[in-house]
Amino acid sequence: MGARIARVLLGLFALGAVGAAVAAALLYLALQRGLPDLQSLADYRPALTSVVLDRNGLPIGEFYEFRRRMIPLEQVPKPVIQAFLAAEDDAFYEHSGVDYVSILRAAWSNLRGDRLQGASTITQQTVKQLLLSPERTYTRKLRELILARRLEQRFTKDEILFLYLNEIYFGSGAYGIAEAARTYFGKEVGALTVAEAALLAGMPKAPGRFSPHVNPERAERRRLWVVDRMLEEGFIDEATHQSAQTPPTIVAAVSETYKAAAYFTENVRRRLVALLGNDVVLHGGLVIETTLDVRLQREAVLALRRGLEAYDERHGYRGPLRRVDARALAAELEKLGEENQLAAGIDPTTSPLGPPRLGLVTGVSKQADEARVAFAPGVEARLALSEPKWAKLAENLAVGDVEHFHVSSAESGALVASLHQQPEVQGALLAIDLAGDDVLALVGGYDFTASELDRATQSLRQPGSAFKPIVYAAAVGHGKTPASIVWDRPVVYDNFRPENYSRKFLGALTLAEALARSVNNAAVHLLEEVGIGAVIDTARALGIRSELEPALGLALGASPVTLLELTRAYAVLGAGGRQVEPRIVRRVLDREGQVLLENVPLDEHAGKSEAPPAPEDANPEPDPVLVSAAAPTLPEGQALPATQAYLATSLLRAPIEHAAGTGHAVAALGRPLAGKTGTTNDHTDAWFVGYSPEIATGVWVGFDQNKLLGKGETGGRAALPIWLEFMRSALASLPARDFEAPAGIVFARIDGRTGALATPASESTLFQAFVEGSEPKEAADATASADDSRRELELGF
């Protein structure tokens, strides 16, 4: 009987075993049905970050949907690999894709109610990242186990580790170890220390929780755990373990260089998307070699910011961003701590480009001449009320005020705050290398994060007197010389009555003197004499494509242009009349290193048909002398005859070299320079555009809403100081050299009033260039020159 029962039980057990086996087989067949093909991993080509480099190979930006860089496994140092093995899978090189011992250990720990543990191997994590959805179900887990085994059969351990390290997510938008190293430490993988590798190895488990940008304290605890695990596994010795206890330095989420170059790189992105498509730019892993000079770009940003801040300070303190009731100070401080991303401390920045922080005024003592400013609970700085003087903080600051401040450390270690008032006025700066047409620096506004409008390329603004050099360039191309006389006298043209800034009239002036003093009436008279059509044609030749109204107001810059157009026009003159097409990209390489594009221009209209010429009726009755002096046909690549461009440059030196010139402050650089201020009649736009033999730079200052800049805010006051500060830095390492005169040019010192050769009695003299044979031959009349000198001499604008 007993034997029979045993046989029945044995039969039932066998039947159950067979059933279980059949069920398992059916389940296995069901699970493997529709499993992803591993061939996709063999052809692994993930979306890669496109990297933007400056002219010297320094990173200045990135384009991506998913930020990832690929790195071969052989370029990953052994300690970095060991950190990941210690943190994620110490038996990686022993198991066959699934670590059953770890699974049982984790299951037992979870059943006992201990902290939930995972048991996924690096192989399983690779499968989960690349082949399966993120859903957390038993079915998905079983499919993961099957695929892990298959992956181990298809690929070597090193190939799997390569896929893993390039695919995993590290938080802050960084995918893959190479991108993570740049994101958190600003370096390549090969330069990572053990301490840095341990921090990165601790992140894939929960990137949000263990990110040093989000949870620095939790990230540090996790990092120390990984360092301990590396010691336990014998990957490092005790000495290395001790040295790795010191927390590594984490770089900012967005580097200063990226911020400084933001307007430039956005121009690069727009141009490449138009040429290659959005998908290629964001996913293609391109290497984009640009023309930007990081050092000059930084100087450009600083010069523009300081200039706009100086303007802002001249117009006083506008008051706090907001004022908080005294009963709500504690709550406001908690909110500021979150906004500033501060915990128990603050990392003060001394960088001029460092971002200001929101601070709350918690105490004001006029007797002690100081206020207390808090940035988070327990984080406080001292603010001197006497500085800055322009803000009059002793009168204007009160407890509860929330404002922006810069923070630095005093010698004692205490924090010191300084007021930062974000300017409402805007500006732009563009610098072009005259030798190769490279855009060296481009800043489109005070702060890209606050406004992405690029005022260097996207804003049409009236150039004011900065357009006058184009009128003068047209004149010398049509028979006029720097010694030709133009009249500054009152006249009315069909309800248009030009006036000088000083409301004075100076009578007869040479072209050189008239441009140096920026005399409005003289420019209008010259435009009328040369012809509006001739001036528009010259503007087109110089690269101005915007619509130009064929009216006398054109002489005073009534037709809006972009800073790019105007700076390019001056650059053509500085380049000897050669056509200038500013470029921003030297070449673009795909992920295999093949060249996709070369010499990408900044102007999206480059190479397209030019704007139409001026209408025939834009010219008055032609002057036979001017017609006979028309320029001959030019060789390819030449916008103006070299002699015409050089004469224009010679004229443009006068506003700087002439003691009464509107740009005379620039003479402080002590080297040959040409340039012109510009201010619109209603004081809404201020300009200074100029060039050395090496670099052409343009600066614009104004309000986006066309508000008035204010009385006295001319190009010489609002824009010129920015230009001067930038060019001082840009030219500092270059030896001073003169503009090279083309064949057929001679020089003469002329009387600025009469245009004749200067004499010792001449009160105003200018050294000017002439086409050989057109220079004055007779000396100025001493009596006439002396009489002229007694007339009221006022600056234009």
Catalytic residues: 88, 465
Residues in the chain: 797
Q: Is 416 helix (H, G, I), strand (E, B) or coil?
A: strand
- Cα-Cα-Cα-Cα dihedral sign, residues 705, 709, 714, 716: negative
DSSP 639: S
Q: Is 43 helix (H, G, I), strand (E, B) or coil?
A: coil
Distance CA 656, CA 646 (A): 16
Residue type, 51: V
- Within 342-492, residue ranges assigned H as helices are 393-396, 468-476
Residue type, 642: A
- Non-local (6+) Cβ contacts of 547 within 8 A are 559, 611
Residue 504 neighbours by CB distance under 10 Å: 15
Distance CA 458, CA 461 (A): 10
Torsion of CA 467, 469, 475, 476, to 10 degrees: -160
Segment holding 514, helix H or strand E:
helix 511-516
DSSP 343: S
Task: Kindly list the distances between the CA atom of residue 389 and the CA atoms of 86, 418, 533, in Å, as whole numbers in the listed order.
Answer: 58, 12, 52
- Non-local (6+) Cβ contacts of 56 within 8 A are 293, 294
Q: What string of DSSP letters covers 711-768?
A: TT--IIIIIHHHHHHHHHHHHTTS---PPPPPTTEEEEEEETTT-SBP-TT-SSEEEE
Distance CA 170, CA 161 (A): 16
Whose structure tokens read 């523009």?
304
Asked if residue 388 has a cis previous peptide bond (ω within 30° of 0), the answer is yes
Residue (of 99, 111, 109, 104) closest to 144 by Cα position? 99
CB 408 within 8 A of CB 418: yes
∠ CA 134-126-32 to the nearest 5 degrees?
70
Distance CA 665, CA 288 (A): 39
DSSP 791: S
Residue (of 530, 574, 576, 542) closest to 467 by Cα position? 542
Give exposure, 470-482, as e/b (b: 16+ Cβ within 10 Å).
bbbbbbbbbbbbb
Q: What string of DSSP letters covers 524-571?
A: HHHHHHH-HHHHHHHHHHTT--S----SGGGGGT-S-B-HHHHHHHHH
Distance CA 286, CA 300 (A): 27
Whose structure tokens read 């480099």?
53
**Residue 750 tokens, joined:** 């002329």
Residue 424 neighbours by CB distance under 10 Å: 15
